[in-house]
Amino acid sequence: MALDTSTLNQLLNTIERFVKDRLVPLEAQVSSEDRIPQEVIDEMKALGLFGLTIPEEYGGLGLNTEEECLAVRVLGHTSPAFRSVIGTNNGIGSQGLVMDGTEEQKARYLPGMASGEIIGSFALTEPDVGSDSGAVRTSARRDGDDFVLNGTKRYITNAPSAHLFTVFARTNPEESGARGVSAFLVDASTPGIELGVPDKKMGQKGAHVCDVIFNDCRDPASAIIGGLDNLNKGFGTAMKTLDRGRLHISALSVGCANRLIADALAFAMERRQFGEAIASFQLIQAMLADSKAEAYAADCMVMDAARRRDAGEKVSTLASCCKLFATEMVGRVADRALQIHGGAGYMEEYAVSRFYRDVRLFRIYEGTSQIQQTIIARNMIRDA
């Protein structure tokens, strides 16, 4: 554990109070306005939420994986859009730098990311490159001491507010697979970067994604994560980043499931039909019980995989098992929670319909459920 028990509990209690008193009451407003108020973002900064996983020497809280999962599970009790604002700085937008960056790169960017002054974004996906992420087409051509980037990145979380992109681009045109790709740190103000219009999403209103287009964008060779020694090795950085990111999304799924179960239980105990609270009907109880058991199973999986990662074990297979099970689980829990609400569950007035749309994304990004299945099976066959 990076933190002693009492400091960790204090942190978790503070986040819990912030979620309950400040964020939950704002959920409907954020969803209808598709915007998180700036003062809330400032409060997140003051609480240190942007730097949960950034090492202490760079101004963050330096949480290990288990502690990060505990914190994210608490954040899951409110709309995932709030988590998305701090998500990239704690996950895919910073961890490549934390794991593989040079000392100079870390000193330059991590303190600003920890405080929330710098928003980091992770740009891997492209219009024709999704699940087959090693097939990156964005090119980075060497020109003296610089590389010149050309290409389009798609669905990039927090891109509209980003100051720093981690961009995966092909530095070896002879190689069409993952081995010819490097990870670049690109300042958002660099000439040659254009942002698309924010995408209209089915859920997680308040969190924004858009295209990022590179037109002859010059980035110095020194901006390759880890320096020129890491030329053509960027895909390894992306995969290591995603191992931790998948545990983060799994913990978030558990948190959202717990919130949905709490909402469904409260509704079932309140709502009366046939002269009784619907919670007394065994068919309703079955939905509550299945949800509870599945959320508990996912929670145990996530915490076990997180502890193993902290102990130095390689957890690629387990991270994919967690992502597959936890994100599918929260989909089933959301569906049952909505069913328990009956017609009311279909109405905007109740949070459950919003969560139903919000959690759908978890099964898609950071590797779809099918990609998690292929990773798990591929590793099983390799190890046999």
Ligand X SMILES: Cc1cc2nc3c(=O)[nH]c(=O)nc-3n(C[C@H](O)[C@H](O)[C@H](O)COP(=O)(O)OP(=O)(O)OC[C@H]3O[C@@H](n4cnc5c(N)ncnc54)[C@H](O)[C@@H]3O)c2cc1C
Tell me whether residue 96 or residue 345 sits nearer to ligand X (CB atom).
96
Dist. CA 176–CA 164, nearest whole Å: 26
Which residues are within 8 A (CB) of 9 and not within 5 positions of it... i.e. 6 or more apart? none
Report the residue from 74, 81, 97, 124 that binds ligand X according to the rule CB under 6 A. 124
Complete DSSP assignment for 85-122: HHHHHHTTTTHHHHHH--HHHHHHHHHHHHHTSS-EEE
Task: Work out whether 131 is an interface residue with ligand X (CB under 6 A).
Answer: yes
Task: Work out whether 156 is an interface residue with ligand X (CB under 6 A).
Answer: yes
Which residues are within 8 A (CB) of 13 and not within 5 positions of it... i.e. 6 or more apart? none
Report the residue from 59, 111, 130, 134 that binds ligand X according to the rule CB under 6 A. 130
Task: Work out whether 164 is an interface residue with ligand X (CB under 6 A).
Answer: no
Task: Work out whether 123 is an interface residue with ligand X (CB under 6 A).
Answer: yes
Tell me whether residue 186 or residue 340 sits nearer to ligand X (CB atom).
186
Task: Work out whether 209 is an interface residue with ligand X (CB under 6 A).
Answer: yes
Best CA proximity match to 179, nearest among 234, 237, 129: 234
Amino acid identity of 49?
L
Question: For ligand X, which stretch binds (CB under 6 A), given 100-108, 138-146, 155-163, 340-348?
Answer: 155-163
Report the nearest approach of ligand X to the CB of residue 87 (Å). Answer: 9
Tell me whether residue 123 or residue 287 sits nearer to ligand X (CB atom).
123
Amino acid identity of 236?
G
Report the nearest approach of ligand X to the CB of residue 282 (Å). Answer: 36
Catalytic residue among 27, 68, 126, 366: 366
Task: Work out whether 125 is an interface residue with ligand X (CB under 6 A).
Answer: yes
Dist. CA 218–CA 299, nearest whole Å: 44
Report the nearest approach of ligand X to the CB of residue 243 (Å). Answer: 15
Is 112:120 a contact under the CB 8 Å cutoff? no
Question: For ligand X, which stretch binds (CB under 6 A), given 59-67, 100-108, 124-132, 184-192?
Answer: 124-132
Dist. CA 364–CA 360, nearest whole Å: 8
**Residue 233: Cβ within 10 Å count:** 18
Best CA proximity match to 122, nearest among 55, 212, 200, 223: 212
* Nearest residue to ligand X, scored by beta-carbon proximity: 130
Report the residue from 50, 109, 155, 267 that binds ligand X according to the rule CB under 6 A. 155
Question: For ligand X, which stretch binds (CB under 6 A), given 57-65, 125-133, 188-196, 351-359?
Answer: 125-133
Report the nearest approach of ligand X to the CB of residue 292 (Å). Answer: 28
Question: For ligand X, which stretch binds (CB under 6 A), given 31-39, 73-81, 103-111, 153-161?
Answer: 153-161
Tell me whether residue 156 or residue 303 sits nearer to ligand X (CB atom).
156
Whether 366 is catalytic = yes
Dist. CA 142–CA 271, nearest whole Å: 66
Report 353-382 residues binding ligand X (CB under 6 A). 361, 364-365, 367-368, 370-371, 374
Best CA proximity match to 182, nearest among 194, 196, 168, 197: 168
Torsion angle, CA of 256/262/265/267, rounded to 10 degrees?
Answer: -90
Complete DSSP assignment for 200-253: --SS-TT--EEEEEEEEEEEEGGGBTT-GGGTTBHHHHHHHHHHHHHHHHHHHH
Tell me whether residue 315 or residue 361 sits nearer to ligand X (CB atom).
361
Binding mask 275-314 for ligand X (x = CB under 6 A): ----------------------------------------
- Active site members: 366
Q: Using CB under 6 A as the criterion, which residues of the chain lie in contact with ligand X when the complex forms? A: 122-125, 130-131, 155-157, 201, 209, 361, 364-365, 367-368, 370-371, 374
